[in-house]
């Protein structure tokens, strides 16, 4: 997770705190995208270099992480990137002859986003025109105000983060907190104890999973097929403290999980046709990372 300094906040908040005009784009994205893979924006990692606002140019200083404020477009119309603290996924479309541009990004991770990071995403989603000149890309979000990017060296970081299909991206790399046991009618039964350390789940990109039950900690492997919506856990390597009743039920349910559903930052792991475990992203200060490192000797993120 990236810590943003006060002067970093100052320059980007000042430059992005403008009234953003949303320009409606009348063309369908599938009509915009060329049939060739040789699109002018694709295949290059673009790093935010400056913000041009009201005839003022605010450059991005060295205090901003090299991995922040970057974009990568692929030929199929998908876009990947990084705000201040989070990975981004979206879709984009453009009309090359008119230099018209439109994109829709959303965070795929849930680290605390500073205000300048949120405004960066907002400006991306309101971009309506682009200019490409050599290794410089400008995305205009309001009048003559634009995000000024420059091509940078591709170290593979963005591609590694999004090596999974887009449908899988939000699930991995996030600590999930159990909300309760759900059934077909939508009613949830909260698991006990209601403790910040209990019922946490983390799915690594390497297909290892770690978590906590009512009182114990476990590690396992999992398999996942994002195109089919299936997910299953292997045998749990678990600590041996005396499990509470809901903890035993939770372990049993995990062993029977066969598919998942993800919608609006809610994750459901189904262990029968109608029964599921329902999760939401855990707070950033959750204790799971320290618990894993202490017990398994592995830093999970």
Can you give the pLDDT at residue 71? Answer: 94
Same domain, 262 and 246: yes
Can you give the pLDDT at residue 63? Answer: 55
Bridge partners of 210, per DSSP, are: 202, 219
Can you give the pLDDT at residue 267? Answer: 93
Same domain, 178 and 155: no
Same domain, 127 and 207: no
Same domain, 142 and 200: no
pTM of the model as a whole:
0.50
Same domain, 180 and 106: no
Answer positive or negative: Cα dihedral of 111, 114, 118, 120. Answer: negative
Q: Are 286 and 175 in contact (CB under 8 A)?
A: yes
Gyration radius (Cα) of the chain, Å: 22
Residue recorded with tokens 């899988």: 168
Can you give the pLDDT at residue 164? Answer: 58
Can you give the pLDDT at residue 119? Answer: 86
Same domain, 14 and 139: yes
Answer positive or negative: Cα dihedral of 254, 294, 287, 115. Answer: negative
In a domain, 279, yes or no: yes
Q: Identify the CA nearest to 151 among candidates 163, 166, 134.
A: 134
Can you give the pLDDT at residue 107? Answer: 82
Same domain, 51 and 154: yes
In a domain, 301, yes or no: no
Q: Identify the CA nearest to 180 among candidates 229, 244, 253, 239.
A: 253
Domain CATH for 278: 2.40.128.270
Q: What is the pLDDT of residues 44-60, one digit of tens each?
A: 999 999 888 876 777 67
Q: Are 201 and 178 in contact (CB under 8 A)?
A: yes
Question: Domain containing 174: what range?
Answer: 167-296
Answer positive or negative: Cα dihedral of 46, 88, 225, 172. Answer: positive
Q: What is the pLDDT of residues 73-125, one digit of tens each?
A: 988 788 889 998 888 888 888 888 888 999 988 887 767 788 888 889 999 99
Which residues in the chain show pLDDT less than 70? 1-39, 55, 59, 61-64, 110, 160-170, 206, 227, 296-301
C-alpha distance from residue 21 to each of 103, 119, 147, 266 (Å): 14, 13, 14, 31
Task: Tell which of 143, 163, 183 closes a domain.
Answer: 163
Quickly list DSSP for the chain.
Answer: -PPPPHHHHHHHHHHH-SPPPPPP--S-HHHHS-SSS--SSBT-EEEEEEEEETTEEEEPPTTS-TTSSEEEE-TTSEEEEE-SSSEEEEEEEEETTTTEEEEEEEESS-SPPPHHHHHHHHHHHT--EEEEETTEEEEEEETTEEEEEEEE---SHHHHHT-S-GGGTTTTT-EEEEEEEE-TT--EE--SS--TTSSEEEE-TTSEEEEE-SS-EEEEEEEEETTTTEEEE---EE--S---HHHHHHHHHHHT--EEEEETTEEEEESSSS-EEEEEEPPTT-SHHHHHHHHHS----
């Amino acid at each position: 997770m990236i810590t943003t300094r006060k002067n970093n906040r100052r320059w980007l908040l000042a430059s992005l705190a403008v009234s953003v005009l949303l320009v409606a784009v009348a063309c369908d994205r599938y009509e915009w995208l060329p049939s060739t893979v040789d699109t002018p924006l694709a295949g290059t990692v673009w790093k935010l270099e400056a913000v041009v606002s009201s005839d003022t140019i605010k450059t991005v200083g060295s205090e901003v992480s090299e991995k922040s404020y970057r974009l990568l477009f692929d030929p199929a119309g998908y876009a990947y990137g990084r705000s201040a603290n989070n990975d981004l996924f979206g879709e984009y479309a453009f009309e090359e002859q008119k230099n018209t541009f439109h994109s829709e990004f959303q965070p795929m991770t849930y680290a605390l986003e500073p205000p300048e990071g949120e405004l960066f995403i907002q400006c991306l989603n309101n971009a309506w025109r682009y200019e490409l000149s050599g290794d410089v890309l400008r995305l205009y979000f309001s009048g003559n105000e634009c995000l000024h990017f420059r091509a940078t060296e591709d170290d593979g970081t963005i591609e590694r983060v999004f090596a999974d299909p887009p449908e899988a991206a939000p699930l991995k790399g996030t600590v999930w907190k159990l909300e309760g046991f759900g059934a077909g009618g939508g009613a949830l039964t909260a698991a006990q104890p209601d403790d910040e350390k209990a019922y946490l789940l983390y799915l690594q990109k390497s297909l290892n999973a770690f978590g906590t039950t009512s009182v114990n900690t476990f590690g396992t492997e999992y398999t996942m097929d994002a195109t089919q919506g299936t997910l299953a856990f292997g045998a749990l390597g678990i600590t041996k403290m005396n499990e509470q009743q809901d903890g035993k039920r939770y372990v049993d349910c995990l062993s029977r999980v066969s598919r998942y559903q993800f919608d609006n930052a809610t994750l459901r792991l189904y262990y029968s046709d109608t029964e599921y475990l329902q999760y939401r992203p855990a707070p950033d200060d959750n204790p799971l990372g320290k618990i894993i490192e202490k017990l398994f000797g592995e830093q999970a993120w």
